[in-house]
Amino acid sequence: MKLVKFKEVNLDDPFFDSLKADYKGFEEWFSRKSENDAYIQKKDDGSLQAFLYLKIEDEAITDVTPNFPEAKRLKVGTFKIEAHNTKLGEKFVRMIMHHALYEKVEEIYVTIFEKHVGLVNLLKKYGFEKKAIKGDPANPESVYVKSMKCHTDDIYKDFPFMHTAGKNKYVLSIYPPYHTKLFPDSILSTEMRDKDSLIKDVSHTNSIHKIYLCRMEDAKQMKHGDLVVIYRTSDKQGPAEYRSVVTSVCVVEEVKTPKDFKSYGEYIKYTNYYSIFDEKTLTNYYNDKKTVIIKMTYNAAFNRRTIRKELIEEIGISRGVYWGFFKLTDEQFNNIIEKGQIDESLIVD
């Protein structure tokens, strides 16, 4: 994923053909935006695979039916992806959410033709609702809106927001090589990072959903909606007190074991899609009765990483705890979140 000026993008790329067909005057509009920024992703051959243009608006929206009152909104001005059964769509949705949080908007909205079924379903999954129509009544665009203020108790529709009241909280450890692949935008510095990086460093390898496999049987106790603080273990470049850090917070979708699958094929299909393990490793896990399969949403990367020494001395975690997996008290979780300096609006209750 790369942030570029419109003028740096080749408008003759076949990628834009459908947009030119759908929107009269698209080429003129594109030229007027020459100095504006857009996020793009390219294929290996250099052609475009995705394009995203975002714009902050403060005024009432009067070219839709019904009209929208004045509010601070993030407009998804142009959004097209050629996902081809990849996770590219949700990576860009995550980018949109990051931008909305950073700009502290009340709503996100996008206009889209219903014929783009895949993209419409993706938006609906993560909380966008059809609120209006725009354009020719015979062939209108739908206007989909996601509120950044109102929440349900659906972990997908509410993403990236997290409900904490009444939820169990845990720490889950992950070895550095796996952590880097699973959580590429969870940097490993204990220093405060620049706020702009919350937008700019969302890796192209990033996805909303993660699957991690381990042999820590206690992890089976986790339930849908529970909170998981990700703990990156030491990289052996120094004492664990200083090299082990908490980096991220996730929400549990479901927890399974190999016996929950009807067949090896079903297991491989499930684990292969969001896991970072190769098929040989997945097979070894399949044949181990201790295996626990954790699927979770990746809601936030901590802005400041808390090292193990601070977890012990300031958060109150016992030095003798089994650091692979353990339960947190509400107070410990809240203190970790506070020290991590994530956007406070992410915590709903």
What is the predicted pLDDT for the residue at 86? 64
Q: 335 lies in a domain?
A: yes
What is the predicted pLDDT for the residue at 1? 78
Q: Do residues 212 and 328 share a domain?
A: yes
321 CB-near residues (< 8 Å, 6+ apart): none
Q: 36 lies in a domain?
A: yes
Q: Could you tell me the residue range of the domain that residue 265 belongs to? A: 169-346
Q: Please report, to the nearest 10 degrees, the dihedral formed by the alpha carbons of residues 32, 34, 40, 42 taken in order.
A: 110
Q: Which amino acid is at 334?
A: N
CATH code for the domain of 97: 3.40.630.30
Q: Do residues 70 and 190 share a domain?
A: no
Q: Do residues 11 and 67 share a domain?
A: yes
- Domain end, chosen from 114, 147, 180, is at 147
Q: How far is CA 47 from the centre of its chain?
A: 25
What is the predicted pLDDT for the residue at 193? 42
Q: Can you tell me whether residue 260 is helix, strand or coil? A: helix
Q: Do residues 138 and 175 share a domain?
A: no
Q: Do residues 130 and 205 share a domain?
A: no
Q: Do residues 206 and 258 share a domain?
A: yes
Partners of 123 in the β-ladder: none
Q: 161 lies in a domain?
A: no
Count up the domains in the chain and report the number. Answer: 2
Q: 164 lies in a domain?
A: no
Q: Do residues 212 and 323 share a domain?
A: yes
Q: 269 lies in a domain?
A: yes
Q: Model confidence over 29-88: pLDDT tens digits?
A: 999 999 999 999 998 899 999 999 999 999 999 999 999 999 999 999 999 998 766 678
What is the predicted pLDDT for the residue at 188? 54
Q: How far is CA 57 from the centre of its chain?
A: 23
Q: Which amino acid is at 270?
A: Y
Do residues 7 and 35 lie in contact, with contact meaning Cβ atoms separated by under 8 Å? yes
Q: Do residues 234 and 312 share a domain?
A: yes
Q: Do residues 133 and 262 share a domain?
A: no
Q: Do residues 242 and 102 share a domain?
A: no
327 CB-near residues (< 8 Å, 6+ apart): 168, 169, 170, 171
CATH code for the domain of 294: 3.10.590.10
Q: Which residues of the chain are under the pLDDT cut of 50?
A: 189-204
What is the predicted pLDDT for the residue at 198? 39
Q: 155 lies in a domain?
A: no
Q: Model confidence over 100-143: pLDDT tens digits?
A: 999 999 999 999 999 999 999 999 999 999 999 999 888 899 99
Cis geometry, peptide bond prior to residue 160 (ω within 30 degrees of 0): yes
Closest CA to 228 of 174, 187, 308: 174
The pTM of this model reads 0.90
